[in-house]
Amino acid sequence: MLSILNISHSYKQGDNTLNILNGCSLNVNAGEVVALVGNSGAGKTTLLQLVGLLEQPQSGDMQVQGQSTKSLNDEDRTLLRRHTYGFVYQFHHLLPEFSAMENVMLPQLIAGVTSSAAKKRACELLQELGLGHRLEHRPKQLSGGEQQRVAIARALANNPKILLADEPTGNLDPSTASEVFGMLVKLIRDQGIAAIIATHNHTLAKSMDRFVEHKDGKLNETGK
C-alpha cells in the first residue's frame, strides 16, 4: 500500500545542516499498523509530513499503491492526499462551532459527497466509536477522549487507504488513551488501512504489528 524508498531530508540551522532522514525505507501493507518511536526531536513528525505529501523529500520517493509521487505537481498531490490519506494529530483540531457529526461530515462534503451520504457515514463512524449519543454535541461539550474519537472518525470519513497519526493519544490519561487507541486500531484493521502511528507510549507501541525506531536519521525495526 505504501512504500518509502530511500528518502533523505535535512534542514539548515544557521551554519549547520540537520540531517533528519538519511536514506530511510519502509513498506506498510494494507491493514497493518506500524509503530513509529523515537526521542523528541528525532524527526518523527517530519517523516509523517513527507509520507503524507505535505512536504517533498530532498531525495528518494514515496509510492502509494505502486504509484510514484516524486513527479506529482501540487494539485495532484492535494488530490491524492484528499482521497487516499487520513490524518490524526495529538490535538483534535475540531471546529468549535460545529457538532461532532458536522465535523465528521465536513471532509466528505469537501470531497464531493452528498450531504445525506456524509451524514450517514458520520453517524456510522461515531456510533462505532461509542459516540452515538453525542452526535449533536459541540467539542466544548465533549471530554478529551470523546473529542479525539471525533477526530479519528473525521480522519476515517473519506475511507482512506493510508492513515498517519502523530501522538494521537498523547493528551489523554493512560486509561482513556488505551481505550481510544484500541478503537482506532480496530477500525484500521477492519477497514484494511495501512497505518503509521508515531508515539512515545511504548505500551501502546507494543500492541501494534511492527515497531520501527527513528534514530540518527535512520529507521530501524527493533522488534517489540
Q: How high is the pLDDT of residue 223? A: 58
CA distance 22 to 60: 10
Kindly report the pTM of this predicted structure: 0.85
Average pLDDT of every residue of the chain: 87
- pLDDT at residue number 42: 66
CATH code of the domain in which 39 resides:
3.40.50.300
* More reliable by pLDDT, 186 or 40: 186
> Residues 125, 153: contact at Cβ < 8 Å?
yes
**Cell 478529551, residue located:** 144
- pLDDT per residue over 128-167, tens digit each? 888 999 999 999 999 988 998 899 999 999 999 999 998 8
User: Which domain does 6 fall in, by range?
Assistant: 2-221
Alpha carbons within 13 A on the beta-carbon side of 169? 23
Of 99-103, 164-168, 177-181, 195-199, which range is least confident?
Answer: 177-181
Can you tell me the distance from the alpha carbon of 174 to that of 62, in angstroms, rounded to the nearest whole number?
Answer: 34
| Dihedral, 221, 34, 182, 118 alpha carbons, nearest 10 | 170
The whole-number pLDDT of residue 54 equals 87
Higher pLDDT, 90 or 125: 125
Instruction: Give the pLDDT score at 204.
Output: 80
Provide the pLDDT confidence category of residue 222 given band limits of 50, 70 and 90: low
Q: What residue ranges in 52-208 does DSSP mark as E strands?
A: 59-64, 67-68, 85-88, 162-166, 194-198
The pLDDT confidence band at residue 45, using thresholds 50, 70 and 90, is confident
Contact indicator for 198, 166 with CB cutoff of 8 Å: yes
Collapsed DSSP state (helix, strand, coil) of residue 197: strand
List Cα–Cα distances, 79 to 39, 110, 195, 196, in angstroms: 32, 11, 19, 20
Task: Judge whether residue 116 has pLDDT over 90.
Answer: yes
Please count the structural domains in the chain. 1
Residues 194-198 have a mean pLDDT of 92
